[in-house]
């Protein structure tokens, strides 16, 4: 029987958390444990967590103190690992990092694990993120190998080989790149719809979110030429030019500030090789 554990960092998610909890509670295949980490919220997130934890013994609440500010990347990972330390049994097949503002169908996890069963080399997977825009659900476009950090499912064997996640912006791309380098595949399940109740990065604003993404790309060791092309292509996306400039500034300023990149030189070499293959129109994971 498939055994899976969910960890959900939640900061000021009072407006969305209940719907996410109801989505998990209603699953045809429920988790063995769900650790919801109230990451120092100033709203009623903690009360919602405690209310549902009192009703479901497999929901474990954890309350962290309020550090007084949002910490992109690193803050989420610190909360995630505090939750990871509370896993009661090591007898699990899959580990799920799930955001607190998602809605998905009742057979979501059953369908996801069917994909893993069908492909023994699938190491990381998850549903496709959709946003509600004026009553229409719009797919968030990403490379096929990229599984959004909002809904990542790690196969146990792949997780063990990754040897942990980076506690910095870019963690949710670095893990996939390393998995692919180690011979695993990573995939978003386009036919499995997950509704994100707010646009990605909306809590930071378009400029800050793009700067954060540029910094994440630098930390992951992206090739400068690949970044230039990426920024040029981004010029045509809304908000026009602004996002591209912010993305490049995030990357360049990280270089100027000597922000530490990942220490795995072989992974940076693999990443840049894949990106150059993309620019040369060769076979690559960047599709």
Q: For the segment 136-174, what is each residue's pLDDT rounded down to a tens digit?
A: 888 998 898 999 999 999 999 999 999 999 999 999 999
Task: Say whether pLDDT at 74 is over 90.
Answer: no
Report field, pTM of the whole predicted structure over 0.85: yes
User: Is residue 101 a contact partner of residue 112, using CB atoms and an 8 Å limit?
Assistant: no
Query: Can you give the pLDDT at residue 64?
Result: 94
CA gap 125, 187 in Å, rounded: 5
Q: Which helix (H) or strand (E) holds 154?
A: strand 151-155
Strands 94-98 and 102-103: unpaired
Radius of gyration of the chain (CA): 19
Query: Can you give the pLDDT at residue 229?
Result: 96
Average pLDDT value for residue range 177-187:
98
Q: Which helix (H) or strand (E) holds 161?
A: helix 156-162
Looking at the domain covering 4-196, what would its CATH class be?
alpha beta
Half-sphere exposure of 195 (CA within 13 A, CB side): 15
User: Is residue 82 a contact partner of residue 62, using CB atoms and an 8 Å limit?
Assistant: yes
Average pLDDT value for residue range 184-193:
96
Query: Can you give the pLDDT at residue 122?
Result: 98
Per-residue pLDDT band at 1 (split at 50, 70, 90): confident
Q: Can you name the residues that pair with 95 across neighbouring β-strands?
A: 5, 154
Query: Can you give the pLDDT at residue 194?
Result: 95
CA gap 57, 149 in Å, rounded: 26
CA angle 178, 182, 188 (to 5 degrees): 60
Average pLDDT value for residue range 225-254:
91
Nearest to 192 by CA among 71, 104, 95: 104
257-280 pLDDT tens trace: 999 999 999 999 999 999 999 999
Distances (CA, A) of 189 to 34, 47, 170: 22, 33, 21
Nearest to 117 by CA among 30, 33, 2: 2
User: Is residue 224 a contact partner of residue 232, using CB atoms and an 8 Å limit?
Assistant: no
Task: Say whether pLDDT at 287 is over 80.
Answer: yes
Average pLDDT value for residue range 177-197:
96
Domain ranges of the chain: 4-196, 206-279
Q: Higher confidence at residue 136 or residue 117?
A: 117
Nearest to 144 by CA among 238, 283, 270: 283
Q: Can you name the residues that pair with 127 across neighbouring β-strands?
A: 189
Per-residue pLDDT band at 119 (split at 50, 70, 90): very high
């Amino acid at each position: 029987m498939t055994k899976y554990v969910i960890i959900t960092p939640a900061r000021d998610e009072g407006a969305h958390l209940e719907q996410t909890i109801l989505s998990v509670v209603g699953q045809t295949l429920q988790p063995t444990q769900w650790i919801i980490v109230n990451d120092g919220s100033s709203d009623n997130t903690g009360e919602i967590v405690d209310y549902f934890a009192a009703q479901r013994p497999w929901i474990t609440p954890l309350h962290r103190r309020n550090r007084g500010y949002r910490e992109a990347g690193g803050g989420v990972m610190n909360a995630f690992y505090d939750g990871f330390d509370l896993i009661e049994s090591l007898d699990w097949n899959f580990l799920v990092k799930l955001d607190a503002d998602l809605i998905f169908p009742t057979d979501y996890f059953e369908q996801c694990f069917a994909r893993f069963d069908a492909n023994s080399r699938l190491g990381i997977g998850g549903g496709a993120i959709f946003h509600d825009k004026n009553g229409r659900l719009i797919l968030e476009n990403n490379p096929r190998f990229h599984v959004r950090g909002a809904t990542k499912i790690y196969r146990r064997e792949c997780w063990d080989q990754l040897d942990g996640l980076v506690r910095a912006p870019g963690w949710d791309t670095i893990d996939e790149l390393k998995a692919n380098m180690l011979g695993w595949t990573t995939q978003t399940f386009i036919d499995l719809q997950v509704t994100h109740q707010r646009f990605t990065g909306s809590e930071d604003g378009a400029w800050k979110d793009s700067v954060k993404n540029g910094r994440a790309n630098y930390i992951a060791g992206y090739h400068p030429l690949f970044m230039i092309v990426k920024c040029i292509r981004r010029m045509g996306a809304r908000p026009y030019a602004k996002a591209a400039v912010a993305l490049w500034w995030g990357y360049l300023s990280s270089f100027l500030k000597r922000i530490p990149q990942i220490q795995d030189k072989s992974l940076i070499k693999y990443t840049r090789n894949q990106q150059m293959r993309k620019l040369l129109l060769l076979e690559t994971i960047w599709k």
